[in-house]
Amino acid sequence: MPDFRFTFADFPPFARAMRVAAPRHLVRAVGKAFFRIGKSDIERMKTQGLGRLNIRFKGFANSFKFRATDSRLAKTVDQIQLSEYTGAKPFRIFDIGGEISPIHARTLTVLAAGARNAAGARKYTRKQLRAMIESGEAKIIPTKAGPAIVKSDERLTKKGTLRRGSKVIILAWLRPRVSEQKRIDFEGNFQANSGEHERILAEAADEAIAKTEAEEEGEGEI
């Protein structure tokens, strides 16, 4: 999980806040700001950052999360961090890219469109596909693209002959390995949302300064 950090000294509102604001107010304000930034980034990722993935299930989008340090437990600004990540383990490969290989089998079963419904949900489990092959309902055939599990959609006439329009449906492809490119860009999403980050941090700096000044004015009253 990447940790995103800001150089506060290079950020004008915070350059003043770090000189003027009381440490406890500054730490608290930064903690709350990081929480709001994380929430904003993840919402942006769900709505705009997943364009390179064909998202079929809401649960996948909801697996994108963030974690910000609880500022009540931090003593200095440097101890506050923000992490943005996906909690869906099968999809973390899309964040870094790489190769997927089978662990307990010789090949991976990659479902084709024929094994999914209109919403994209799978119609068959791997166990069901195996049972279909054993029963003869489906079979494995060689193709130029590699071995495929297919099912014949055979329509018979009253005379028992194949009706025109009968076809073979590809249910899955059998692959020794699958290469996945990086398709989830947390860093790019983070950078693209920089304008919102600056707005949130500016509010945090003003809040820390205002609380410090109000506290000092209260102490100065007789």
155 and 187 inside one domain: no
Residue 123, domain extent: 100-179
CA angle 89-184-145, nearest 5°?
Answer: 80
* 3-class DSSP state of 110: strand
Statement to judge: residues 160 and 211 lie in one domain: no
Cα separation, 98 vs 136, whole angstroms: 35
Mean pLDDT of 137-157: 81
Which amino acid, one-letter code, is at 86? T
Burial of 71 (0-12, 13-18, 19+ CB in 10 A): buried
Is 77 in the same domain as 91?
A: yes
| Residues 27, 212 contacting (CB under 8 angstroms) | no
Same domain, 150 and 215: no
The 10s digit of each residue's pLDDT in 37-70 is 999 999 998 887 666 565 556 667 788 899 999 9
The answer to whether the CB of 171 falls within 8 A of the CB of 138 is: yes
Strand partners of residue 148? 141, 173
Backbone angles phi, psi at 88, to 5 degrees: -90, 100
Distance CA 138, CA 126 (A): 13
| Whether residue 77 sits in one domain with residue 152 | no
pLDDT tens digits along 102-122: 777 788 888 888 888 877 778
| 70 and 173 part of one domain | no
Decide: residue 90, CB within 10 A, 0-12 exposed, 13-18 middle, 19+ buried: exposed
Q: Looking at the structure, tell me whether residues 105 and 93 fall in a common domain.
A: no
Q: How far apart are CA 2 and CA 81, in angstroms?
A: 10
Task: Determine the pLDDT at residue 35.
Answer: 96
How far apart (Å, rounded) are the C-alpha atoms in residues 19 and 40? 28
pLDDT at 222: 44
Q: pLDDT category, 2, cuts 50, 70, 90?
A: low
- Most confident by average pLDDT, 38-52, 74-88, 89-103, 148-162: 74-88
Cβ 159 vs Cβ 82: under 8 Å = no
- Do 88 and 188 sit in the same domain of this protein? yes
Question: What is the pTM (predicted TM-score) of this model?
Answer: 0.65
d(Cα 49, Cα 156) in Å, to the nearest integer? 48
Structural domain tally of the chain? Answer: 2
- Pair (194, 87) in one structural domain: yes
Does 32 lie in the same domain as 85?
A: yes
Residues 79, 109, single domain; the answer is: no
Q: Which of 60, 2, 100, 68 is nearest to 49 (CA)?
A: 60
Radius of gyration of the chain (CA): 28
The mean per-residue pLDDT over the stretch 173-185 comes to: 79
Judgement on whether residues 122 and 86 belong to the same structural domain of the protein = no
